[in-house]
Amino acid sequence: MITSLVAFAIVLATDVLYGGIINAQGGTAPMPYVPRFVAGYMALMAALIAIALLPRAEIVPIRAPLRAAAAAGLLVLGFLAAFSVGPPLVIAGLLVSFAFSRTIRGARSRPARFSGLAAALVAVAVLLAGFEVTQRVVVCPEAGQMSGGGSGFLSGPYQYECNNGVATFHSG
């Protein structure tokens, strides 16, 4: 319980600080939805941890999947964001992993383990899909030119060009 509370506090504090930094930067970024998605994903992981902490009988059967999803999501996001908000997220992910291991040890059931694995896979899939979608939503300035690119997790590298408000994408 204490490990989950500490993990919740770490994720919540990181999310608030991250959101504050993103909002303080101002300006117009060509991909404004990526940091918003990351902040929302961190809030979702914090919510999963908080729900798993509730001492209600309805939560007991889903406690393992909630913790597994939060642990996997935080660890993967922590490694992907290693040079910015990653280190505290990895620590929180390890704490939730420890809480998850204690949860499945107490449950001693295969369904708890399999539902945890499935929830972890869904959490990582949502993270990767969210990155794929949000990094391809480019906001072009109404006048002028701009270009850039990225390396999609699932679809491979891409480049974009903005000419007077119109975006053009190129794969590869």
| 78-104 per-position pLDDT tens digit | 999 998 899 999 999 999 999 998 888
Strands (E), 84-154: 145-152
Write the CATH number for 32.
Answer: 1.20.1440
Measured at the alpha carbon of residue 35, what is the angle toward residues 162 and 70, in degrees to the nearest 5? 140
Residues 89 and 157 in one domain: no
Q: What digits encode the pLDDT tens for the residues 122-149? A: 999 999 999 988 888 888 888 888 888 8
Whether the Cβ atoms of residue 34 and residue 134 lie closer than 8 Å to each other: yes
Residues 157 and 120 in one domain: no
Model pTM above 0.85: yes
**Residue in this structure with the two tokens 């449950």, named with its chain if needed:** 107
Based on the fold, state whether residues 10 and 90 are members of the same structural domain: yes
| Domains held by the chain: number | 2
What are the CA-CA distances from residue 64 to residues 72, 78, 85 (Å)? 12, 21, 26
Domain of 59 in residue numbering reads as: 2-135
